[in-house]
Amino acid sequence: MRFRLVPIMILIAVAVLVLGASVEPPQPIAWWTTHPLAKVRPFDPVPNAPAKSVDLYAGRNEFEPFQIVLRGKSKDLSGVDIGFSDFHSADGAEISANNVTVYLEEFVNLKRPSSIEGGDGLWPDPLIPRVDRYANEARNAFPFTVRRDRNQPLWVDVYVPAAAHPGQYTGSALVSLGGRVQFSVPIKLTVWRFVLPSTSTLKSSFGLNGVNALKQHRGRYTNDEDLHSITGLYTKAALLHRISTNGGSMEPPRFSYNAGRMQLDWREYDAEVGPFLDGAAIPKGEPLYGARATSAEIRTPSAFETEEQEKLYWTEWTKHFQRNGWGDRLFLYLWDEPASRDFPEVLKRGRMSAEVEPSLRSLVTVPFTQKLAGVVQIWVPLVNCLELKPGFPDFCDATPPLGSYARQTQPHTSLWFYQSCASHGCNIVGGQYFTGWPAYVIDASGAANRVMQWVAWKYRMEGELYYSMNEAYRQDNDPWVNIRLFGGNGDGTLFYPGRPDRIGGRSDIPIESIRLKLIREGMEDYEYLALLAKLDGRQSADQYAGQIVKAPYLWESRPEVFLKVRQNLGESLDRAAAKSNEAL
């Protein structure tokens, strides 16, 4: 019996060797790709039919993101890394891999949901880059560890240069383990003919507190040079996401008043803000080269001895901005959310500003009211106050018809809007009324983070205001630990402080959030609509906006449908660009 078994064992061994030569070892990593509207949580199940490739569609001078999700099959795997090839077209055109930025998605642990649409637990939001766009330094997020039965998503931004040739490109992502490539992710990139402008068509003014940013990064206020450096980084980060800021260093220009004359020292202010207004903050060769800030607020000191001094101070602002060609972007933040009892003081200050310079525009966060019609040039209603939500008591003191704004006779009058904790419930876990609104909180859907700019187009908004991008940076708080404010997770905070002791590298940088990326995507969507309206008429653009937005509280929440409408919009715009033969 023993002699018969030996040849059988030899045959089995030979068969194993032969078969082993042609069979790949089991893949230790489960993986799939997904779109940017997905918020992949650590314990979400593997999709039934996981996508194994990426199809991107983009105009030129545009970012287009996607995600790759990795998951250990049987054990934790350390030393996981990723790289990207160049993109090539059939006719020999190339888009360098240098235009790809990859981020490790970190999770934040939410203690309570923002509303009944949200949820507690671990949610993806901070994005740690392999190499950042600010200091061009490698950070410590890569290589990384993939945990067993736990998802680790990667966010990938592909920037299509303005000079790229339109056409079909192919490239790939290579995922490695311990320096050995495990698999390749095929990427198809369709580059359309049109070019998005670097300066946003939809104006914006998002709050930024440079003093709090400096204290988060350095632990205290160090000096003015550090303040201006940190402020500049965050302001540039916002501009790279098509957003303009207000606040900044929080320092108004120094002034002196003597014998009825007001003089301002503009040197520090111009050094801080001037490059962003002039389009010099993003140099040639970088994405969105030449982008300009679309707004600037008057920084008024806390108090003046007399009203006449304040008026002279405002006058110097208007003169300086007009001399520098910035006058069309200057505004006076006259009052924030005034109650009716505040109206007499709003009128008083508004009339003061009108005496300074007729072209100086006063901004008030309030729905239209005839009582303030003589002093407000930029009306900024809450998004909740554009239309009543059926089945609920009036949330706003007034919800005037949109025609009220269009009938304004004041020169330079425009309509902006904003969102607040009213999108999720202020200092509560919002109930049924607080569902369906655009929202910038972490535990809102990706579509909710992106739809605000579609609402802007449908309702003819010219600008968007947001109270802060770093509200959780106050000195007694660590945003990495607690980012909940006013009942919302991430409300008022779109950045995290990127300190070297946490993210590696040598220098401090702003860490962007997924929500900031999705706001950028919404701003780019708005550019698509604006370009299509220019080439093929407003009605063509409205048709697509109407497929996404029915009302401010009712819009397309299904990611696949949302993104398909966007793709169809891009294809229509590409055809319109081909017909026009314009170099957009």
pLDDT digits (tens, 9 = 90+) for 395-422: 999 899 888 887 775 668 999 999 999 9
Does 41 fall in a domain?
yes
For range 253-271, the mean pLDDT: 95
The residue out of 456, 481, 514 marking a domain boundary is 514
pLDDT digits (tens, 9 = 90+) for 189-207: 999 999 999 999 999 999 9
- Residues 244, 304, single domain; the answer is yes
- Residues 266, 231, single domain; the answer is yes
- Residues 209, 153, single domain; the answer is no
Nearest CA to 450 out of 387, 384, 383, 517 is that of 517
Residue 113: CATH number of its domain: 2.60.40.10
Query: How high does pLDDT run on average in the chain?
Result: 93
For range 132-158, the mean pLDDT: 98
pLDDT digits (tens, 9 = 90+) for 353-379: 999 888 899 999 999 999 999 999 999
Does 581 fall in a domain?
no
pLDDT-above-70 percentage for the chain: 94
- Residues 249, 369, single domain; the answer is yes
- Residues 164, 257, single domain; the answer is no
Kindly tell me the sign of the dihedral angle through the C-alpha atoms of 4, 6, 12, 17.
Answer: negative
pLDDT at position 356 = 87
Does 2 fall in a domain?
no
Total domains in the fold of the chain: 2
Written as six digits, the tokens of 556 are 């397309």
- Residues 168, 251, single domain; the answer is no
- Residues 507, 376, single domain; the answer is yes
Does 542 fall in a domain?
no
- Residues 220, 314, single domain; the answer is yes
Q: Is the pLDDT of residue 5 over 50?
A: no
Q: Using the 8-state DSSP alphabet, how is residue 16 labeled? A: H
For tokens 């609920």, the residue is 392
- Helix, coil or strand: residue 191: strand
Q: Is the pLDDT of residue 21 over 60?
A: no
Domain that holds residue 185: 29-195
- Residues 159, 224, single domain; the answer is no
- Helix, coil or strand: residue 241: coil
pLDDT digits (tens, 9 = 90+) for 289-306: 999 999 999 999 988 889
Q: Which residues contact 472 (CB under 8 A, 6 or more apart)?
A: 479, 482, 483, 485, 490, 492, 493
- The answer to whether 166 touches 554, Cβ cutoff 8 Å, is no
Angle at 225 between CA 223 and CA 231, to 5 degrees: 105
Q: State the first-to-last Cα distance of the chain, in angstroms, to the nearest integer.
A: 84
Q: How many CB atoms lie within 10 A of CB 13?
A: 10
pLDDT digits (tens, 9 = 90+) for 458-487: 999 999 999 999 999 987 899 999 999 999
pLDDT digits (tens, 9 = 90+) for 80-118: 999 999 999 999 999 999 999 999 999 999 999 999 999
Does 189 fall in a domain?
yes
Q: Using the 8-state DSSP alphabet, how is residue 13 labeled? A: H
Q: Is the pLDDT of residue 62 over 60?
A: yes
Nearest CA to 217 out of 207, 232, 227 is that of 227
pLDDT at position 276 = 98
Interstrand relation of 296-297 and 330-335 (parallel, antiparallel or unpaired): parallel
Does 369 fall in a domain?
yes
- Residues 182, 295, single domain; the answer is no
